Amino acid sequence: MTVPLLPQENLLDAVKISCRALRDKNLPDIAISSSHIDTFLRSLDGAKYAEVSSGDPNKAPLKFDSIEQEVGFVALIDLLNFGSGWRVELHAALDRGAFNAIRFGCMALHISSVDVSAKWMRRVTLAEVASYFDLPLLRDVPHETLPIVTMKPHSLRALSEQIMEVLHETGKVLEDKGYPSLAAFVMDAVTRPGEGGSRGPAAELVDRVARAFPSMRDCDTYKGVDVFILKRAQLLAGNLYRRFSATDPRFAFSDIKDLTVFSDNVLPTVLTKLGVLTLSESLQGRITAREDLGQAADEKWAVRLRGAAVDACEEIVAKAKTLEGLDLRVAAMAGIDLDYYLWSLGKEEGYRTVERMVVKGTPFF
């Protein structure tokens, strides 16, 4: 897939502007309901919103020798935070979803004392990926005529291959740029100011990550509109802020509220159930049938749904500031807080069983 070039402007602004420009192009398949936004905001309990939106999904019961080592752990999870299209297969094989499968693998690497260096990334094998992430490569298949079992590739082999490819690509970029590890790249990005001009530190980190690593260059074009999502690059900035801002000033990003939501397959689903997004019968039917929306290349369903979720959430955040009678904790919401709240809501009963869009083969989400 050919992706558009990243603009020189603040990439966080580019995400918001491009997703807003997509709104009219999305009709009649995807629409945003302003009345349901009001209903959603008025339904929020301030205490619950504050508690849920301040969580840290990356927090793990692990011991780290240094802040750089822990930064590397967080960054690795966000680098590999994709595979949502394999959700059904992952639950069937491992009883865990995509995020927990990736988190499990990153924890296994840490517990095994693997030095996740640029060199290791470039050389990691498919068998090693499958082993650490507990992903099956083969499956037993009864022979058609003989009373024996043969082996065929497991459907999740493709996910192992994608993880390996992203690691290889990332390792090469790091070595080419002279960084011994992903952690070293991130620490350099937050320690040494770049040439961002008026960009804040979170925007600068997103910019450096998105420009450096192709798998983080999360964007596409639909009907002449270059749409930028940058989910995992923004997620990295958000997770680093949540984990370290209280103890290390390098991560106390002053522009953290400029991040948008980290749009994946969960947010469009939750927003649709809330009535904030309305989908055409045809599109909803495809999602319900678990069709791989990535196969309809010209329709660009993934970027359209995810872009609509970003745009809708920007409207939610803006409306929260002006709608009378809201709890002050709700009225002060930012994209990063709203994202964690909606993502957590997607894990609750009544949301968890709703079919989500399936897109396999993408490293973006």
With 70 as the cut, is the pLDDT of residue 195 above it?
A: no
The whole-number pLDDT of residue 196 equals 52
pLDDT digits (tens, 9 = 90+) for 48-102: 999 999 888 878 899 999 999 999 999 999 999 999 999 999 999 999 999 999 9
- Cβ atoms 52, 341 nearer than 8 A: yes
Tokens 């924890």 found at: 107
Residue 357: both structure tokens together: 């869009």
Mean pLDDT of the chain: 95
**How far, in Å, CA of 360 to CA of 295, rounded?**
9
Tokens 């009709």 found at: 27
pLDDT digits (tens, 9 = 90+) for 134-160: 999 998 878 778 888 888 999 999 999
330-335 contacts at long range (C-beta below 8 A, 24 or more positions apart)? 330/41, 330/44, 330/46, 330/49, 333/49, 333/53, 334/256, 334/257, 334/259, 335/257, 335/258, 335/259, 335/260, 335/261
The whole-number pLDDT of residue 57 equals 80
CA contacts within 13 A on the Cβ side of 198: 5
Secondary structure letter of residue 358 according to DSSP: B
pLDDT digits (tens, 9 = 90+) for 298-323: 999 999 999 999 999 999 999 999 99
pLDDT digits (tens, 9 = 90+) for 107-139: 999 999 999 999 999 999 999 999 999 999 998
Backbone angles phi, psi at 176, to 5 degrees: -60, -30
pLDDT band for 1, please (50, 70, 90 cuts).
Answer: low
Helices (H) and strands (E) in the chain, counts: 18, 6
pLDDT digits (tens, 9 = 90+) for 243-269: 999 999 999 999 999 999 999 999 999
The whole-number pLDDT of residue 302 equals 97
Lowest model confidence (mean pLDDT) among 146-160, 171-185, 304-318, 330-344: 146-160
pLDDT band for 3, please (50, 70, 90 cuts).
Answer: confident
Angle at 125 between CA 112 and CA 95, to 5 degrees: 65
Task: Please state, in angstroms and as integers, the Cα–Cα distance from residue 54 to each residue in 85, 203, 297, following that order.
Answer: 27, 21, 37
The whole-number pLDDT of residue 197 equals 59
Please give the share of the chain, as a percent, with pLDDT higher than 90. 90
The whole-number pLDDT of residue 147 equals 83
